[in-house]
Amino acid sequence: MKPALFIDGHWVDGDGAPMPVHDPSLGQIMAQVPAASAHQVNLAVQAARRALPGWRSLSGARRAEYLQGFARHLQQRREGLIALQMRNNGKPRHEAELDLDDAIATFDYYAGLAAQLDARQDQPVPLQAPGFSAHCRFEALGVVGLIVPWNFPLVTSAWKLAPALAAGCTLVLKPSEVTPLIEQVYGEIADALGLPAGVLNLVAGAGKTGAALSQHPGLDKLSFTGSTATGQRVMASSAAFCRPLTLELGGKSPILVFADADLDQAVHWIIGGFCWNAGQMCSATSRLLVHESIADALLQRLRSALLALRVGNPLEQEVDMGPLSCQAQWRTVCTYLEQARNEGLECLVGGHALPGPGWFVAPTVYTDVPTSSRLWQEEIFGPVLCMRRFSDEAQALALANDSAFGLVATVISADLQRAERVAAALDVGHVWINSLQAVFVETSWGGTKGSGIGRELGPWGLAAYQSIKHLTRYLG
Ligand code: NAD
């Protein structure tokens, strides 16, 4: 097997302990990947530092050509990447395809923004004071560390790599220990495109490798996606250097269904919101709030639809939902199911693991869950939905906003004025109105409260890797 580390333009084996990589549908090891040692992380950061002056002084137009190359190569490797995500993540085919398309769209979009950068440089800034002129430059922040989780490996990494490269930053990416093979493609493409050595470095590894990267003094910025608990640790290490940080963390997002909703449509969006990727989504809308007048009818349809959901190995059959991506996550979800039994929660459907091999859990719904329940408050990261009824809009909003997180929300109502009013009052970073969770590269991504700091995607995603410098001149 090819080495998993790409440092300074070379493929090397990790010096650290081997990490088993699994096929979660079978619960079997599919590869062993040695982790990068702290010394190798240091070599990667140094390589990125050496590559920085050359890369950031290239024109935006030239960097755009490289980014287009990434999009083109991802497309060329389409079938292999879809198969790898199905095997290593347990994603159904249609989900693996969508992730790949999303990653391609991200590189294309930031190629467009990189190409516009040259014309945006040195724009005059209108001043009220006479006798002075000022203009603005957008400069690359420098060497950035990127740390990502396993649930959408191609996409989450693309959301960081593409804007960082577009801005002129050089980088060290640490993929998750659960899916270290998938992001190797970015090293392979960098290699194939002849990206200058050291611009993009990959270090495989688990928390120890992540800590070595996040604590490294040679970074100018860290962008982290993962759990809130690890985000807090990463934030503490950045504080030591006063360096900028983007944090994309967890969620416990609400989906609000008003009395005028189309029930079949609502069921479709509710299921998409907590069963897509087997519920392993930061944006899972795992708290269902339903108007009391339609609650029973909605629950009946939801139960039937969930019982009909096809759960299984995506490589063996066409499925709607695959396994949890790793055994640790499967155990976590099973612990929450046990907690629900201990709390005496009312289970509408599911509530148990499915027979192996593999790490499967039945789609699960608990009804009329008290707000004091851990299942109502904590991110479960599996196909588990908690439901409550509301009697009016004010109560729905109060329940929705009563959370330590603030990533996303979905509002379902035939009354668009009401939907917009509710959306405006929700304390989150993104609201879908009568929609599946469609994420477009042109719109922003990020949350409030415990869901993180900063925004990815759109022009905000590029700005996250830029430093702004103003030049002010006395005209005499
Ligand atoms: P995690 O926090 O356990 O790990 C995330 C990454 O951090 C991994 O690469 C891991 O190896 C690394 N890491 C672990 N300990 C570290 C340390 N001490 N220092 C530096 N790095 C360290 O999260 P996970 O279980 O891989 O992913 C699930 C979490 O990610 C969920 O909470 C989910 O909501 C969140 N997530 C958020 C978004 C978003 O955009 N907001 C997107 C996807 C996932």
Enter the tokens of residue 297.
């009818």
Q: Domain limits of the chain?
A: 5-249+451-474, 254-433
* Best residue among 33, 151, 457 to mutate for probing ligand 1, ranked by most atoms within 8 Å of CB: 151
pLDDT at 1: 66
Q: Say how far apart CA 308 and CA 146 lie, in whole Å.
A: 40
Measured from CB, residues less than 6 Å from any atom of ligand 1 are: 147-151, 156, 174, 176-177, 206-207, 210-211, 214, 225-227, 230, 233-234, 248-251, 282, 379, 381, 407, 451-452
256-280 pLDDT, tens digit per residue, is 999 999 999 999 999 999 999 999 9
Nearest CA owner, ligand 1 atom 19: 211
Q: How far is the CA of 215 from the centre of ligand 1 (A)?
A: 16
Does an H or E element contain 144, and which?
A: strand 143-147
- Using 50 as the pLDDT threshold, list the residues of the chain that sit under it: none
User: Tell me, which fold does domain 5-249+451-474 have in CATH?
Assistant: Aldehyde Dehydrogenase; Chain A, domain 1 (3.40.605)
Q: Tokens 């430093």 map to which residue?
A: 467
Q: Which atom of ligand 1 is nearest to the CA of 447?
A: 41
On the 0-12 / 13-18 / 19+ scale of CB atoms within 10 A, 460 is middle
Q: How far is the CA of 124 from the centre of ligand 1 (A)?
A: 41
What is the C-alpha radius of gyration for the chain, rounded to an integer number of angstroms?
23
Q: Annotated catalytic sites, by residue?
A: 248
Q: Which atom of ligand 1 is nearest to the CA of 282?
A: 34
User: Tell me, which fold does domain 254-433 have in CATH?
Assistant: Aldehyde Dehydrogenase; Chain A, domain 2 (3.40.309)
pLDDT at 48: 99
On the 0-12 / 13-18 / 19+ scale of CB atoms within 10 A, 239 is exposed
CB contact at 8 A, 147 and 120: no
Q: Say how far apart CA 388 and CA 376 lie, in whole Å.
A: 9
Q: Tokens 């925004």 map to which residue?
A: 455
Nearest CA owner, ligand 1 atom 30: 226
Own/partner pairs, 423-427, CB within 8 angstroms, 24+ separation = 425/397, 425/401, 426/254, 426/397, 426/400, 426/401, 427/401
Q: Say how far apart CA 369 and CA 267 lie, in whole Å.
A: 19
Q: How far is the CA of 243 from the centre of ligand 1 (A)?
A: 19
* Best residue among 208, 282, 384, 448 to mutate for probing ligand 1, ranked by most atoms within 8 Å of CB: 282
